[in-house]
Amino acid sequence: MAATPKLRPEDALLMVDVQRDFLPGGALAVPDGDRVVDALNAWVDDAVRSKALVVASQDWHPKDHVSFTGRGGPWPEHCVQGTPGAGLHPALSVPLDAVLVRKGMDVDRDAYSAFDGTGLAALFKDRGVRRVFVGGLAQDVCVRATVLDALRAGFETHLLVEATRAVDPSQGARALEEMQASGAVLENDRGLGAR
Ligand code: VGL
Ligand code: ZN
């Protein structure tokens, strides 16, 4: 990271679901999911220095959530409220004034986007956020849904590509194209391109 911060006070860094269950060894492991942590931590440093808002989301399901295979859903049981697997990766830097949001808490309805039922769009508008920078897990599931919602809510939305990994890499590649086609700016390294 260069000495001069890239982010600005009216930016938000949104770290999606960097939770133990999505990391190698976890219940719904994303290949190389742990690789997002160093990349995100560099962005957190930048956000703190530039006084940008930092947000971390957690997938936070009740037992017997509708998305679990036991109920006919697509996913193994993961991120059950209060379990170690639902915890954020211990090496992720989360500033003391970061905003934490939890989603997927309704037992009969899934919520992939960090904006779904969390009040995050209203919070961003209250705080004067104009640009949202998104990283985390998983690129083809909750990051995708979060980026598309951020765009729909009218934010200039940037995807931190190296700070995301996909459950299924071929779906990840499709999700990148879809996010870009929907208006997201894909950031391919830790610096921001000139614009
Ligand atoms: C996620 C699958 C199920 C995610 C959450 O955070 O990407 N993926 N629940
Ligand atoms: Zn989930």
User: Each residue of 9-52: pLDDT tens digit?
Assistant: 999 999 999 999 999 999 999 999 999 999 999 999 999 999 99
Question: Domain map of the chain by residue range?
Answer: 11-57+86-101+109-187
User: Each residue of 133-178: pLDDT tens digit?
Assistant: 999 999 999 999 999 999 999 999 999 999 999 999 999 999 999 9
**What would the mean pLDDT of 67-82 be, rounded to a whole number?**
98
What value does the mean pLDDT of the chain take? Answer: 95
Query: What topology does CATH give the domain 11-57+86-101+109-187?
Result: Rossmann fold (3.40.50)
Measured in angstroms, how far is the CA atom of residue 8 from the centroid of ligand 2?
31
Active-site annotation holder among 103, 110, 140, 149: 103
3-class state of residue 175 by DSSP: helix
- Confidence at residue 3, expressed as pLDDT on a 0 to 100 scale: 55
Does the pLDDT value for residue 195 go beyond 50?
Answer: no
Ligand 1, residues at Cβ distance < 6 Å: 17, 28, 59, 67, 75, 137-138, 141-142
Judge if pTM exceeds 0.75: yes
Ligand 1 atom with the smallest distance to the CA of 75 is 3
Cα distance between residue 191 and residue 178, in whole Å: 22
Q: With both helix axes pointing from N to C terminus, report the angle between 169-181 and 142-152 in degrees, rounded to the nearest 10.
A: 10
Ligand 1 atom with the smallest distance to the CA of 112 is 5
